[in-house]
Amino acid sequence: MAVLLDVSAIVAAADTADLNHASAKAWFGRVDEPLLLGALSLGEADHVLQRELGQPATLALLEALTSGAIRVVAPTDADLVTAVALLVEHAEHHPRLSDALLVAAAARLGVRRIATFDRRPLAVLAPRGARGERLLDLEP
C-alpha cells in the first residue's frame, strides 16, 4: 500500500531545526511502501522549502521525485469535486485546498495512510466508516 506525503513530513525531514526532524528522518528511513505526493502539495513544498531552507532543499526534493523515490499524483476532476464537497462540509474549520485534495486523492487511490505532522487539518477532513472509525491513518 502507498503512503501520501503531507508537506509537514517533507519539511520536517529536510529541516534539522524542525522539532519533528528526528522522527521524520526515522520514519522515512523505515517506510517501505511507495511514497506519493500530490501535485498541489509539490508547489506548497517548494514554497516552504525555498522560504525556510533555500533552493538546495527544493533540489533535494526534485532529486527524490526524478529518482522515483516519490511519485507525483495529479488531481483529477473527480478529486476537485470531492475537494469542493470537503471544503463546504467542513467550512467551519477553514480547511485548505491542498489538504482537501490530499484526502480526495487518498480516497480515489485507496490509500489509507498519510504521513503528516500537521494532523488536525487532515483529521477534520478524513472520512469515517460505517462504525465511525477514521478511514485514514495519520502518521509518522
Instruction: Give 70's strand partners.
Output: 35
Residue 109 · residue 102 · CB < 8 Å: no
Residue 76 · residue 130 · CB < 8 Å: no
Spell out the per-residue pLDDT of the chain, length 140, in tens: 899 999 999 999 999 999 999 999 999 999 999 999 999 999 999 999 999 999 999 999 999 999 999 999 999 999 999 999 999 999 999 999 999 999 999 999 999 889 999 888 888 888 765 454 455 676 77
* CATH classification at residue 109: 3.40.50.1010
The rounded distance, in Å, linking the Cα atoms of 70 and 79 is 20
Using the 8-state DSSP alphabet, how is residue 124 labeled?
Answer: H
What's the order of all strands across the beta sheet hosting 113-115?
70-73, 35-38, 3-5, 113-115, 137-139
Looking at 31-118, list the stretches that DSSP marks H as alpha helix, in order from N- to C-terminal side: 39-52, 55-66, 77-89, 97-109
pLDDT at 136: 61
Please tell me the pTM assigned to this model.
0.90
Looking at the structure of the chain, the number of domains it has is: 1
pLDDT at 84: 96
State which amino acid sits at residue 37. L
- Closest C-alpha to 97, from 2, 7, 3: 7
Domain residues for 58?
3-139
pLDDT at 126: 80
Backbone phi, psi, residue 70, to 5°: -130, 135
